[in-house]
Amino acid sequence: MWTRLVVNKVFRKTIGSNNFIADFPSTDEMSLEQWGESGKDYYRESFFHPRKHAIHYRMFVSTWNVGGIEPEEDLLAMEELLDTSNGYCDIYVLGYFQEIVPLKATNVLGPDNTATCRKWNSLIRKTLNKNCSFDAYTFSHRSDKAEDSNKKRNGVVGQDFCCLISKQMVGILITVWVRSNLRPYVRYPSVSCVGCGIMGCLGNKGSVSVRFQMHETSFCFICAHLTSGSKEGDEQCRTSNMAEIMSRTSFPRGPSLGLPKKILDHDRVILLGDLNYRISLPEATTRELVDREDWGALLAKDQLIAELIDGHVFQGWYEGPINFPPTYKYVPNSDTYHGCFQAKSGEKKRAPAWCDRIIWYGIGLKQSYYGRGESKLSDHRPVKAMFSVEVNVPRGRLQSQKNLFLSERYDQIPANLVDEGSSSDELEYKARSSFMV
């Protein structure tokens, strides 16, 4: 078995685009029956009302390199990570898990260790559904009407959030959660994994990408862990990793051959992860500027910002303004950057840097928040962002959508912005701030 696993990884053999964990089956042929009349009505209206209307959902995106440390059974800590004290979003995209397991040979070459993945997903479920009237019941559209009636009488009406996709490759894990009443309008979930690590192909470095279509809009999220190091040439290795991820990531075209195949073919694209880009300054200068909290001087030498400006691999990508301290490298369980005191003999020093980032491509995404969390579990700090994401729906479905989503997170575009002559390009976030130099 080990021989087959190693050969598959070395020769980049795919494990299948539908090989992921979810609360619902991913077989699209079954979806209309599972969804019932609401799903069938949606497709009828998509066919007979081809004109589209744009609505906005709130989306929370976060990334965190947890350094191979298992999660604590602390819902308060998870609430801080998911920022639920400020209300709930409609979509959660979580790449908390670069180095979800220690990057040792048995984990890199052998089967994925899923125990830690299950623990994180369990904590996420408990946190997002904390205010529900149940915990043990996972809602299934396969329940018959009589069974549903019994569950409603017992106070169980279906969970608030369900896991749409959860996929692990060695130490990289991305998990996507949506409100349960959004699930009937999600189609074609799939995954694509790219290893860029040992021998240029193993999964200790690389990416896990997930895609799906919500209403009439396609989404792609890439959780990446790129080459580390601050030596000369390491920056080019990271950019080369990204070029390979862009080239090798591929999704099925779907039954009608009309679905996006490559990352940038999708309507909404977000890259998150430990991208490992550093600050091109001497270590002593970097530490001095960090002590002075002179973020502008540091960001002027930030390698990822330089790549965004040069526009080679990252042409057309955006990042919100950074107004928070570097997220790496801390002494775990402290507020002290690594190397501020006498290092152990032979131990490498790591200058502070914004290794953990969230960037996006194209239009239809408006970032309203970009910051970091203060969990001290790892030598990284988590980074989080909030987006308002534009999604196209058939006009005939709009009124029912307004009735379905009653939270403050639902945000319809004013009618005067979507008249007959308006295009989706005109709704681009024109006031968006890109990288700050």
Which CATH number characterizes residue 86's domain?
A: 3.60.10.10
Q: Do the domain assignments include residue 166?
A: yes
Tally of domains within the chain: 1
pLDDT 10s digits, 194-236: 998 554 556 578 999 999 999 999 999 999 999 999 888 899 9
Among candidate residues 250, 95, 244, 86, the one with its CA nearest the CA of residue 172: 95
Q: How far apart are CA 140 and CA 156, in angstroms?
A: 12
Task: Give me the residues paired with residue 356 across strands.
Answer: 274
User: Is 435 a domain residue?
Assistant: no
Exposed e or buried b per residue across 356-371, where buried means at least 16 C-beta atoms within 10 angstroms of its C-beta: bbbbbbebbbbbeebe
> What was the pLDDT predicted at 22?
85
Report yes or no on 391 lying in a domain.
yes
Compute the distance between CA of residue 43 and CA of residue 35 in angstroms, rounded to an integer: 11
Cα gap 297→290, rounded to integer Å: 10
Helix (H) / strand (E) containing 309: helix 303-310
Question: Three-class SS of residue 385?
Answer: strand
Per-residue pLDDT, 131: 77
Look at strands 91-98 and 52-65 and give their pairing. parallel
pLDDT at 50: 55
Asked if residue 158 is part of any domain, the answer here is yes
Low-confidence ranges of the chain (pLDDT < 70): 1-16, 25-51, 97-113, 132-159, 197-203, 341-348, 396-437
Residue of 378, 275, 293 whose CA lies nearest to 334 = 378
Question: In this structure, are residues 212 and 262 in contact, taking their beta carbons and an 8 Å threshold?
Answer: no
Residue bearing tokens 């598959």: 8
pLDDT (0 to 100) of residue 397 = 56
Give the chain's count of helices (H) and strands (E): 12, 13
> Range of 327's domain?
2-427
Question: How far is the CA of 389 from the CAs of 164, 269, 310, 373, in angstroms?
Answer: 17, 11, 27, 22
Q: Is residue 274 part of a domain?
A: yes
Tell me if 434 is assigned to some domain. no
As a whole number of angstroms, the distance between CA 132 and CA 129 comes to: 5
The verdict on residue 436 lying in a domain is: no
Q: Is 101 within the bounds of a domain?
A: yes
Angle between helices 28-35 and 37-48 (to 10 degrees): 110
